[in-house]
Amino acid sequence: MRVIKTEDITQTIAELCIRANHELSEDMCGLLKKAQESEASPVGQQVLSQLDQNLQIAKEDMIPICQDTGMAVVFMEIGQDVHIEGGDLTAAVNEGVRRGYVDGFLRKSVVSDPLIRENTKDNTPAILHEQIVPGDQITITVAPKGFGSENMSRIFMLKPADGIEGVKNAVLTAVSDAGPNACPPMVVGVGIGGTFEKCAFLAKKALTRNTEIRSPLVHIAALEDELLEKINQSGIGPAGLGGSNTALAVNIETYATHIAGLPVAVNICCHVNRHASAIL
């Protein structure tokens, strides 16, 4: 049994909150560079060039990539041979988010009640997803999610008879309805299967997968490629001003489901698709 202190978890999450909001992951940098090289629209090229300049300034001057530093979504894969000591895990996670956003001078965007809407002033509480896995390590991923793109999320409770064409139509409908509101070029996370809440989780988790890695399922990898091509034929383009790069990637995660259902969730992220990970 390996012991991990809650203080180490807290400090790691604080650092990840700051890093994710200031530095774009390498795979996303690569995708944006490819988009600049392939963009057919002069206006689209100009937008992509400005986005690239913004990213460079954010990294060099330690300025957030976007003014909306998001609500902190934290994924934890906890090894079953780990013993956590030092206090409540959820409290440790929220303390890490508090430190990251307060000490990192990141915008605090969370309200304590969805109707009364009083700001918590430290961006807590976080959205925490925990999974028990084999091993003696904890993998932590922090994915700050801005709500320009989050508000464009959709869930479709399809019938099994809708099949793969129904799935394609659902994803393309969500992207079309989002238009410029999700700050394209976007990354599209898709969850297929499970239940109402499971497919939404899968879509969110899909956004954290390295965009250079396709689904290990041949038919799903083919679907990812087909949807990316069709989305980029929509003409929405960078910033919604037209062009050939509406999306940078489509990541799909799947899960078993009931014989009577075909749940599909679409979680769109803007061009930065922020997330950072660490292993304890």
Co-location of 82 and 212 in the same domain: no
Where among 115, 145, 175 does a domain terminate? Answer: 145
Residue 152 CB contacts under 8 Å (≥ 6 apart), including other chains: 174, 177, 178, 181, 182, 268
Domain assignment present for 253:
yes
In a domain, 167, yes or no: yes
Q: Which residues contact 160 (CB under 8 A, 6 or more apart)?
A: 259, 260, 261, 262
Task: Print the domain residue range for 91.
Answer: 2-20+65-145
- Which residues are paired to 192 by β-bridges? 254, 264
7 and 123, same domain (yes or no): yes
- Does one domain contain both 104 and 9? yes
Torsion, Cα 200 203 208 209, to 10 degrees, reads 140
Query: Could you give the C-alpha distances from 176 to 1, 112, 220, in angstroms and in order?
Result: 50, 32, 21
Residues 158, 249 within the same domain: yes
In a domain, 250, yes or no: yes
At which of 105, 122, 145 does a domain end? 145
Chain Cα centroid distance, residue 132: 21
Q: How far is Cα 30 from Cα 114, in angstroms, rounded to an integer? A: 37
In the chain, the number of structural domains is 2
Q: Are 164 and 244 in a shared domain?
A: yes
Which residue, of 124, 145, 166, is where some domain finishes? 145
Do both 133 and 8 map to the same domain? yes
Residues 254 and 196 in one domain: yes
What are the pLDDT tens digits along the chain (280 aa)? 899 999 999 999 999 999 999 988 889 989 999 999 999 899 999 999 999 999 889 888 889 999 999 999 999 999 999 999 999 999 999 999 999 999 999 999 999 999 999 999 999 999 999 999 999 999 999 999 999 999 999 999 999 999 999 999 999 999 999 999 999 999 999 999 999 999 999 999 999 999 999 999 999 999 999 999 999 999 999 999 999 999 999 999 999 999 999 999 999 999 889 999 999 9
30 in a structural domain: no
Residues 137, 179, single domain; the answer is no
Q: Which two tokens stand for residue 208?
A: 């954290």
Let me know whether 140 and 200 are in one domain.
no
The H or E element that residue 178 is part of is helix 163-178
Residues 184 and 209 in one domain: yes
